Amino acid sequence: MKANNSDLSREKILIRTSWISTIGNAILSVSKIIIGLLAGSLAVLGDGIDSATDVIISIVMIFTARIMSRPPSKKYVFGYEKAESIATKILSLVIFYAGVQMLLSSIESIFSDEVKEIPAPVAIYVTVFSIIGKLLLALYQYRQGKKINSSMLTANAVNMRNDVVISSGVLLGLIFTFIFKLPILDSVTGLIISLFIIKSSIGIFMDSNVELMDGVKDVNIYNKIFEAVEKVPGAGNPHRVRSRMIGNLYNITLDIEVDPQMTLMQAHEIADAVEKSIENSIDNVYDILVHVEPAGKCQTDEKFGIDKDMVE
């Protein structure tokens, strides 16, 4: 069993990053909602509501980090690391909901018969403040997510990057609204932003399916496994190779063939050497299971796993 970061350190980073995100987004959200209402800008108000969903997302992340730190139990013998993927999927649904709500509000505003007024100039100032704040939060989340290989943090960083684009769109819409004296441009900007939010949420949702379906995002890991086995004398025909993610860690299972005349001890030593070779080739390995078979006894009708010819 091997990992680059201890569970305790990873939990601390997740919680600290989530709290920073919560406080930062709360400040931005309250500012934009209040100014959006006072200035009469639908785009700024929608941007504030989107930031409010980020506060909810950050709270979910804190709760999830606590769950992930639990030790394995009889019911969950592989531990609770996959709670991160479930949380990521929940985040995508929250983002999708925010996008749909903003889409409906923008469409309603565009086709409304009410006389629209040009937003107050203060809307521009709070939007510039939001862009700077969101950019700093997005960079921080992304770096921390990559540091501990967290899909949840990187997904939230993508969401905050989208918020930077959203706020930039709001700013551009406000500028054009003031230049051309057309309040409807504020609503059109909100419509375009809502479509961007929805697209982003679908991407995050699909990406989270990989771990929940026991897949791997980087299929090149199989090339590394086969190359690692080839380095071990006596280990032949690696097949039925399976790899899946448990949180940010790989759980790898494979079959190899050895000389049928070997003693049990010799076969065991080869299996140990295969494990060590794989651990030296791949980072973030949680566990490796090597099944040893006598050469020539490989079954051809195996359902799961891949063979070397499938990755060449």
Overall pTM > 0.85: no
Question: With DSSP H G I counted as helix, E B as strand and the rest as coil, what are the percentages for the chain, rounded to 5?
Answer: 65, 10, 25
8 Å CB contact between 104 and 37 = no
DSSP string, 44-99: HHHHHHHHHHHHHHHHHHHHHHHHHTSPP-SS-TT-STTHHHHHHHHHHHHHHHHH
Which class in CATH covers the domain with range 5-213? mainly alpha
Amino acid 254: pLDDT:
94
Provide the residue ranges of all domains of the chain, joining segments of one domain with +. Answer: 5-213, 219-310
Question: Cβ neighbours of residue 9 under 8 Å, at least 6 residues apart?
Answer: 148
Token digits of residue 127: 């939007």
Which among 269, 267, 264, 257 is positioned nearest to 296, based on CA atoms? 257
Of the candidates 58, 1, 50, 47, the residue with the CA atom closest to the CA atom of residue 24? 58
β-strand pairing of 236-246 with 249-258: antiparallel
Angle between helices 151-180 and 83-110 (to 10 degrees): 10
What architecture is the 219-310 domain classified under in CATH? Answer: 2-Layer Sandwich (3.30)
- Tens digit of pLDDT per residue, the chain (312 long)? 444 445 657 778 888 888 888 898 899 889 888 988 888 777 787 778 777 877 877 787 788 878 887 888 999 888 888 888 888 888 888 888 878 887 887 788 778 776 556 677 788 888 899 899 989 988 998 898 888 877 778 877 887 887 787 788 778 877 877 777 777 777 787 788 788 878 888 888 888 888 888 888 888 899 999 999 999 999 998 999 999 988 778 999 999 999 999 999 999 999 999 999 999 999 888 899 999 999 876 665 667 888 877 766
Collapse the DSSP code of 289 into the 3-class scheme (helix H, G, I; strand E, B; otherwise coil) and give the result: strand
Please state, in angstroms and rounded to a whole number, the distance separating the CA atoms of residues 78 and 264.
Answer: 29
Of 99, 123, 129, give the one whose Cα is nearest residue 44.
Answer: 123
